[in-house]
Structure formats: C-alpha cells, structure tokens
C-alpha cells in the first residue's frame, strides 16, 4: 500500500533517505520539509567554496551530471515534494501529524504514515559579549558560506580570527590564509588543536605545517569577548587582544533535538536522539539519522556522536530502505576523519590515545615515520602513523596519520578503519596485505612497520620515547636529570650535533657501535636517536646484547622531532 512519508530536514540525511525510498516505493508520496532555502548540498565543500577552489556556490548543490538539486529537481526527477523555508514546529505522535509554519506565518497540519528526522545540528555559539556583532559567522551552512565569501572577495577582510581548532576551524583558516592572504589566527581553548582526535604530537605537526603557511595559533587560550561597535574590531582572550575584521566561530555542533524531545522521543547521553540499529527512534514509525542522532562507537561500544557527512549519507540510505519495509542495519561507526592542512593531511579512525584512556582502556600508542612509497622511487614523502593498542589483549583501538601526500595517508587510515570493528590485534596490522608497486607503496609497507613496531614494544624489545617526552628530557638536561644523546646516524649527519652539544651528544654510527661501545661515557641515561628510528632501534638491540638495556630510542627519529617543531 502506498505510504505518506514526511522527512524533516533535507540536506544530507533527509534527501538521501527520500531518494532511496522513492526508488523502492515509487507509488508512495514523500515530502521533504526544510526551514532553509537550500537543500541537498555538500556542506563539507563550504571551506573550499570560501577558498575559491570551488568557484560557484551552485557547484555544491549540483549532481555529478550538473543539475542543481532544488525543489524543481526533486519534483521533476524524483517525484518528491519539497517545502523549503518551512519549519516543522510540532510532532503529534498520537494522530501521526506534524504542524508546519511557512515564512509568511501561515500554518498547516500534515499527516504521515512514517516520519524521518534529519534535523541535523547547529553550531555552538559561545555565550560571550559581542557574539551578535556583524562579521561574526559560524560557517555552518550555505548562507554563511556566501556571506563570508562576499566580504572576503570585496576586500573587507584583512585579519580573521577563527575560534576553535577543530577540523572545520582548520579548514576555514586554510581557506582564508591560502587563497585570500588574509592574516589568519586560530584560537584554541584546549592544549592542542584537534583535541581528542589526535595525539599532541600529531597536532603539533599539523599546526607547524599551517604556521609555515602563515596561520597564527594561540593554544590554551580562552576567548572572553568579541569587541567592536558597528562591526568586529577584535577578539579578546584571557591572554591578549587580537585585532580582527572577521570572526568565524567553530566550537562544535549541537544536535537539533527539540522536535524529538518535545514529542517524547528518547534523547541519549550525548544529547542526540537515541536510535536502534535500524535507525528507528523510540517510536517505531519515526526514524532519525545524521547529525541529530546518536550512534554506537564500534571500538568503545559506547554511545557516540559523529556529526559527519559520511555518516549522514550512509544512514540516509539505510532509513530509505527501512521505510520501504527493509531490514537494513547501521551498526555504528569508528569515526574516520581527514582534514587537509595545505598540502598535508591529518587523518584518523577509532580512538586516539587520550580518548582510549578516557573510555577506560589500558592503552598505549606507538609511532613510526617512514616513506609513503619505495625509498628509491621519485616523489616519495615522509608519513607519520600512530597506532593505539590495548596493552593486555594487543587489540588495535585506533590509528592516526599525518603526511605530505594526503591520498597516501588516507589510504592507510581507511585500510585499518575497515577492520577496526572486527577487534583486530596488532599481528593483523603486521601482516596486512597492501597492494605493492614502488610508485605507490613499499614492499614492507609503513602499516606493516607500524604493526611490527607495536609488537616489538609490547614484547619489551623496543623501548621508545616519543617526541614530547624527548623534548621534556632535552629541556631539563642539566637540572640533575642528565641524559646523553647517542646519535646513531652516519658521521656526515651526526658529527655537527656532537660538536654543537659536546656534553650532551655523541655520534657513533650504528654500524660502528660494536667496536666503539667503550667510547660511551658511563653514568648517564642514554637516548638513542637516528633519522626515522630504525637505526636507533637496531642500536638498542646491539647495546642490550652488550649488557645495556636501559637506553631509550626516539620513535620516528629526528624527522619526527623536526616535524613537531623541535629545533635542535
Ligand atoms: C564547514 C563544514 C565542513 C564540513 N566538512 C565535513 C567533511 O569534510 N567531512 C564530513 O564527513 N563532514 C563534514 N561536515 C559535516 C557535514 O556537513 C554534516 O555532518 C552533514 O551536513 C549532516 O547532514 P544532516 O542532513 O544530518 O544535517 P544538516 O546538514 O545539519 O541538515 C539539517 C537540515 O534540517 C533543517 N531543520 C532542522 N530543524 C528543522 C525543523 N524543525 N523544520 C525544518 N527544517 C529543519 C536545518 O535547517 C538543515 O537545513 C562539515 C560541516 C561543515 C559545516
């Protein structure tokens, strides 16, 4: 029997659910209702429209065959009715109706057999003075995107402040600094950018990359106010006043759940709507998905909130199938993400070390630095990967990566993301089969090296120290915590450092270590260092064989220290 389906919200989740359902049940009637004037657009493209990479805003609204997805498109191509600039104000579950209000103030009541909530999220706005000043935006939708692009192209912006160093904030910072040469500053409240997503070392790598392209950062600073009279003049933090003509607030997303809550549907502890694996709410004829719904984190098993377009699109298809009587399942997600930082990419899947510890895992992490393709092949670039592992079970909980060739980083992250829900152990990563040819990868790929390094560490063969721990030891040397750097690189690389720091640094190439071990002064903690961590690990094994099992090896080597901004 033909059904009457109402879908509230028509961006990613809503339009996908509508189209999938209509393909399965063409005789049923579907109405999408959205309070905005735009529907079915690629919100993830907003930073690239602002930057100018995407020149026409309508490109974000077009199909791959160049049709703009507006009301007429949905009516003519999909036989779906769309009501834009129309707000759903109430759900009456008993009578299965929704109350709507149009722009002109007129209201109506529409009946449904099944209802979909794709109400998405809204950007969090800090409750600070000046938040309502002109030139304060949130970059949350196409209206914001057009407004920001307009003031930038008109030359009204010389200095911009982005509040929040999450992925949207970073992308917007790059958009302004790169194409428009706006003096751009990011202010982050936490002690690193991308907090919770990556380790502080990977955050430093991305930050340094962006600093090299002119973006300024103030980390661990709280924005207290936005100053200005007729327009924005400055952002005031607990430490300074930063002059600005434009402010973009990017401090997180809040799920739009008022309709659901008022209708008595269950809201979860993340603040989003509770759904089952079929994406049904606590009312079996009402579905919810995308940015308004809570799903399961497939690694931690706990309720999670992932406001990501990749989730909304896949969930929309599941809902469309189930509206038509199907039994499609959305089990949850591992939270894969990637963010472009100029020519590099920062990506991850599963839990970072801090989020794993917070979720109650007894976890550790290990890092490697290796070329992303065969060392002899032109065009190779360094890649950094970090694997988060549960100590006792050796279960892989997450992976993060940073590298100068984004596609190569994403390839590795996606490979591990695909198996994370199967609870893989590190030997699965050690033996991971990846397609190999020198222009694309290495015979022993960086993923395999990562698994092997984790195994060596958990077995006690490899005793690493990370860049942050190294920096701490390096800076407190002379304060009673004396350590000596044993540089295992070739003379042409290590000798200059030994001359620069004669009391703290010696250079014995790893292949000479057996003969020259007597030259190591006694009584100091040894820290082994090489270019990427391979020779220092070999040196650690050599020294152990010779009776010294106390040295630590700098993981990722000097390449990683430099990438984190540690200038030796
Ligand atoms: C700048 C930016 C960059 C992003 N980049 C990425 C990225 O690179 N990768 C990624 O995976 N994700 C990215 N995202 C996130 C992604 O855009 C969202 O996850 C996705 O748009 C969510 O889709 P949705 O349909 O659930 O909700 P939304 O896109 O929020 O749409 C919900 C719609 O419902 C409407 N609505 C709400 N309540 C009502 C009501 N009562 N009546 C009528 N209409 C209502 C809203 O006005 C809105 O139009 C980005 C987001 C932004 C803002």
Write the CATH number for 212: 3.50.50.60
| Same domain, yes or no: 116 and 265 | yes
Ligand 1 lined by 169 (C-beta under 6 Å): no
Q: Is 10 a domain residue?
A: yes
Answer whether residue 80 is part of any domain. Answer: yes
**HEC per residue, 477-537:** CCCCCCEEEEECCCHHHHHHHHHHCCCCEEECCHHHHHHHHHHCCCCCEEEEECCCCHHHH
Give me the pLDDT at residue 478, please: 55
The Cα 564–Cα 568 span in angstroms is 11
Beta bridge partners, 367, equal 386
Nearest to 292 by CA among 417, 172, 115: 115
CA distance 563 to 568: 12
Q: Taking the model in full, what pTM does it have?
A: 0.94
Question: Is the shortest distance between the CB of 438 and ligand 1 below 6 Å?
Answer: no
Tokens representing residue 446 in the block: 């960086």
Q: Which two tokens stand for residue 439?
A: 């222009």
Is the CB of 88 within 6 Å of ligand 1?
A: yes
Residues 270 and 362 in one domain: no
Instruction: Respond yes or no: is residue 44 known to be catalytic.
Output: yes
Tokens representing residue 81 in the block = 């009715």
The pLDDT of residue 480: 53
- Going from the Cα of 42 to the center of ligand 1, the distance in angstroms, rounded, reads 9
Q: Among 19, 44, 190, 488, which one carries the catalytic annotation?
A: 44
- For residues 166 and 188, the answer to whether their CB atoms sit within 8 Å is no
- By the 10 Å C-beta count (0-12 exposed, 13-18 middle, 19+ buried), 260 is classed as buried
pLDDT at 477: 58
| In-domain check, residue 329 | no
Could you tell me the residue range of the domain that residue 143 belongs to?
136-249
Q: What pLDDT does 474 receive?
A: 86
Please give the distance, rounded to the nearest whole angstrom, from the Cα atom of residue 484 to the centre of ligand 1.
53
Does residue 34's CB lie within 6 angstroms of at least one atom of ligand 1? yes
Same domain, 412 and 450: yes
Mean pLDDT, each 10-residue run in order, the chain (568 residues):
96 98 98 97 95 93 94 97 98 98 97 98 96 95 94 95 97 92 96 97 96 97 97 98 98 97 98 98 98 97 96 98 98 97 96 97 97 92 97 98 95 97 97 94 94 97 94 73 89 95 94 94 90 96 90 96 89
Nearest CA to ligand 1 atom 7: 44
Q: Based on the structure, what is the number of domains in the chain?
A: 4
Give one DSSP letter per residue of 258-274, joined into a string.
HHHHHTT--B-TTSSEE
Strand partners, 297: 333
Q: Report yes or no on 131 lying in a domain.
A: no
Among 458, 489, 505, residue at a domain's last position: 458
- DSSP classification of residue 134: T
In a domain, 378, yes or no: yes
Query: CA–CA separation, 53 vs 170, rounded Å?
Result: 16
**C-alpha distances in angstroms, 491 versus 54, 494, 540, 561?**
49, 5, 19, 19
Helix (H) or strand (E) holding 343: none
Q: Residue whose CA is closest, atom 23 of ligand 1? A: 12
Does 115 share its domain with 219? no
Angle between the N-to-C axes of helices 200-212 and 467-475, in degrees from 0 to 180, rounded to the nearest 10: 80
Say whether both 261 and 117 belong to one domain: yes
| Contact call for residues 195 and 164 (beta carbons, < 8 A) | no
Both 357 and 435 in one domain: the answer is yes
**Domain identity same for 174 and 269:** no
Domain stop point among 198, 220, 249 = 249
The answer to whether the beta carbons of residues 50 and 100 sit under 8 Å apart is: no
Q: The dihedral of CA 403, 406, 411, 413: what is its sign?
A: positive
Identify which of 11, 36, 37, 335 to mutate to test ligand 1's pocket (most ligand atoms within 8 A of the CB): 11
Query: Are 267 and 243 in the same domain?
Result: no
């Amino acid at each position: 029997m033909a059904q009457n389906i109402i879908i509230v919200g028509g961006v990613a989740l809503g339009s996908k659910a509508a189209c999938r359902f209509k393909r399965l049940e063409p005789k049923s009637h579907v109405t999408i209702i959205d309070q905005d004037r735009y529907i079915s657009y690629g919100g993830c493209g907003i930073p690239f429209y602002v930057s100018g990479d995407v020149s026409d805003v309508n490109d974000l609204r077009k199909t791959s065959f160049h049709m703009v997805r507006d009301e007429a498109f949905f009516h003519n191509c999909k036989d779906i009715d769309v009501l834009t600039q129309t707000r759903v104000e109430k759900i009456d579950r008993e009578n299965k109706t929704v109350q709507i209000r149009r722009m002109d103030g007129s209201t109506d009541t529409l009946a449904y057999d099944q209802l979909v909530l794709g109400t998405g999220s809204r950007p969090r706005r800090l409750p600070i003075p000046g938040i309502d000043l002109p030139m304060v935006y949130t970059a949350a939708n196409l209206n914001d995107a057009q407004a920001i692009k307009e003031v930038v192209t008109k030359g009204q912006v010389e200095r911009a402040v982005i509040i929040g160093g999450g992925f949207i904030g970073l992308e917007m910072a790059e958009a302004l600094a790169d194409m428009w040469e706006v003096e751009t500053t990011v202010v982050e409240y936490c002690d690193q950018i991308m907090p919770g997503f990556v380790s502080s070392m990977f955050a430093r790598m991305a930050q340094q990359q962006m600093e090299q392209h002119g973006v300024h950062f103030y980390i661990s600073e709280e924005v207290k106010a936005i100053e200005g009279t007729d327009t924005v003049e400055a952002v005031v933090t607990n430490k300074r006043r930063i002059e600005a003509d434009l402010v973009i607030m990017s401090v997180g997303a809040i799920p739009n759940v008022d309709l659901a809550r008022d209708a008595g549907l269950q809201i979860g502890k993340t603040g989003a709507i509770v759904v089952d694996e079929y994406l049904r709410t606590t009312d079996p004829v009402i579905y919810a998905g995308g940015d308004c719904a809570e799903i399961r984190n497939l690694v931690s098993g706990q309720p999670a909130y992932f406001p990501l377009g990749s989730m909304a699109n896949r969930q929309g298809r599941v809902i469309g199938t189930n509206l038509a009587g199907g039994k499609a399942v959305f089990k949850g997600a591992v939270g894969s993400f990637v963010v472009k930082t100029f020519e590099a990419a920062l990506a991850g899947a599963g839990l970072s070390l801090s989020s794993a510890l917070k979720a109650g895992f007894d976890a550790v992490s290990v890092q490697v630095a290796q070329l992303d393709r065969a060392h002899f092949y032109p065009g190779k670039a360094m890649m950094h990967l970090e694997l988060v592992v549960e100590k006792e079970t050796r279960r892989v909980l997450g992976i993060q990566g940073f590298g100068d060739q984004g596609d190569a980083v994403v390839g590795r992250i996606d490979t591990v993301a695909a198996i994370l829900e199967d609870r893989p152990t590190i030997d699965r990563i050690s033996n991971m089969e990846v397609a190999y040819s020198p222009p694309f990868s290495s015979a022993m790929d960086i993923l395999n090296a990562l698994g092997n390094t984790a195994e060596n560490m958990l077995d006690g063969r490899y005793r690493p120290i990370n860049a942050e721990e190294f920096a701490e030891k390096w800076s407190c040397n002379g304060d009673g915590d004396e350590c000596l750097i044993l540089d295992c690189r070739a003379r042409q690389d290590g000798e200059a450092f030994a001359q620069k720091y004669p009391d703290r640094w010696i250079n014995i190439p790893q292949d000479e270590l057996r003969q020259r071990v007597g030259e190591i002064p006694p009584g100091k903690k040894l820290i082994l260092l090489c270019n990427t961590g391979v020779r220092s690990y070999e040196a650690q094994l050599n020294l152990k064989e010779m009776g010294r099992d106390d040295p630590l090896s700098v993981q990722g080597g000097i390449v990683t220290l430099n990438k984190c901004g540690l200038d030796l």
